[in-house]
């Protein structure tokens, strides 16, 4: 494990970096040599040799929901300041949308539409390339959702999303915290779990044969087999660890956020971890080659170069 925290005096956020200096606080550049523990030698080819955890920008409220499009551009949400930001190699960080209803989880749909979990508005929405917003779901059996949190799109275009409740419950209409599935034609909404305490992070395999759901309240990560209609069957414990956010690489390894980032292979064996200067909330692969792991961590956005791409 390498623990080094070299600093330099270059301004972290500038007009060149983002085109919107006034949006963020200036900060001293912090580059952290990747504190990587690879628990098995054969898995040491996950992270690029000499990789560093770099802070891309800071001064946000609370970052969440990183999601990359087909070109590797990254979208991420600032819950507190109700903004969705967009990062690209050419323009840096810009504001994609404001007044987002405390947008949390994001995901790019198969057609390039940005899918959004709006916690405060208690709905799941879609934003097209022209910026037009469509409400996809805001109720289950006539009752308003708790606060949609995270989501994943299956290979057919169906959407799984978690709906926990954080904070006051005086206006909560749905009893319990659940996961739902919205069909590819957006006509059918199923409740697919009813026994989780606080479902949060959610991801699935590229072929759609497995769906993983983190129960943050129970400290467990569950694996399911989805059926043709989106229903989940054959629930089994994958690892005894919950997660706020998670992602999967091309090899089927799962990356879970907690106090740091923990990496598990497809069998549930821990094969590595990555430490981040701030507690990570969520993460996603992106960048031009798809090998940059972006990490949203409280007030900052970080990245580290990998030798694998996302799923």
44 within a domain of the structure (yes/no): no
State the Rg of the chain over Cα. 19
d(CA 276, CA 36): 10
CATH number of the domain residue 157 falls in:
2.120.10.30
Domain extent, residue 216, equals 57-305
Q: What is the pLDDT of residues 225-267, one digit of tens each?
A: 999 999 999 999 999 999 999 999 999 999 999 999 999 999 9
40 within a domain of the structure (yes/no): no
Q: Is the pLDDT of residue 211 over 60?
A: yes
Neighbours of 113 (CB within 10 A): 19
Number of domains making up the chain? 1
234 within a domain of the structure (yes/no): yes
Arithmetic mean of pLDDT over the chain: 88
Whole-prediction pTM: 0.88
281 within a domain of the structure (yes/no): yes
**Which of 114, 129, 131 minimizes the C-alpha distance to 68?**
114
162 within a domain of the structure (yes/no): yes
């Amino acid at each position: 494990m390498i623990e080094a925290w070299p600093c330099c005096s270059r301004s972290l956020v500038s007009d060149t970096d983002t085109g919107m200096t006034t949006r963020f606080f200036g900060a001293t550049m912090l580059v952290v040599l990747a504190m990587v523990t690879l628990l098995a030698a054969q898995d040491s080819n996950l992270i690029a040799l000499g990789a560093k955890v770099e802070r891309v920008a800071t001064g946000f409220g609370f970052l969440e929901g990183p999601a990359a499009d087909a070109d590797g551009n990254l979208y991420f949400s600032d819950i507190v300041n109700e903004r969705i930001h967009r990062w690209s190699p050419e323009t840096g960080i810009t504001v994609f949308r404001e007044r987002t209803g405390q947008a949390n989880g994001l995901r790019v749909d198969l057609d390039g539409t940005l899918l959004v979990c709006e916690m405060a508005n208690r709905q799941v929405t879609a934003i097209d390339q022209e910026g037009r917003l469509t409400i996809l779901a805001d109720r289950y059996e006539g009752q308003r959702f708790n606060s949609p949190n995270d989501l994943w799109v299956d290979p057919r275009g169906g959407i799984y999303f978690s709906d926990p409740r954080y904070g006051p419950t005086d206006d909560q209409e749905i009893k319990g915290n659940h996961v739902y599935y919205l069909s590819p034609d957006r006509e059918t909404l199923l409740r697919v779990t009813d026994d989780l305490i606080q479902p949060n992070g959610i991801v699935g395999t590229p072929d759609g044969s497995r769906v993983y759901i983190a129960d943050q309240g129970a400290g467990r990560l569950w694996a399911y087999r989805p059926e043709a209609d989106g229903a989940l069957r054959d629930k089994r414990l994958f690892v005894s660890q919950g997660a706020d956010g998670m992602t999967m690489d091309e090899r089927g390894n799962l990356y879970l956020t907690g106090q740091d980032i923990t990496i598990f292979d497809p069998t549930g064996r821990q094969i590595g971890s990555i430490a981040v200067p701030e507690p990570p909330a969520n993460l996603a692969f992106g960048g031009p080659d798809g090998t940059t792991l972006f990490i949203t961590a409280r007030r900052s956005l970080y990245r580290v170069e990998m030798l694998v791409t996302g799923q």
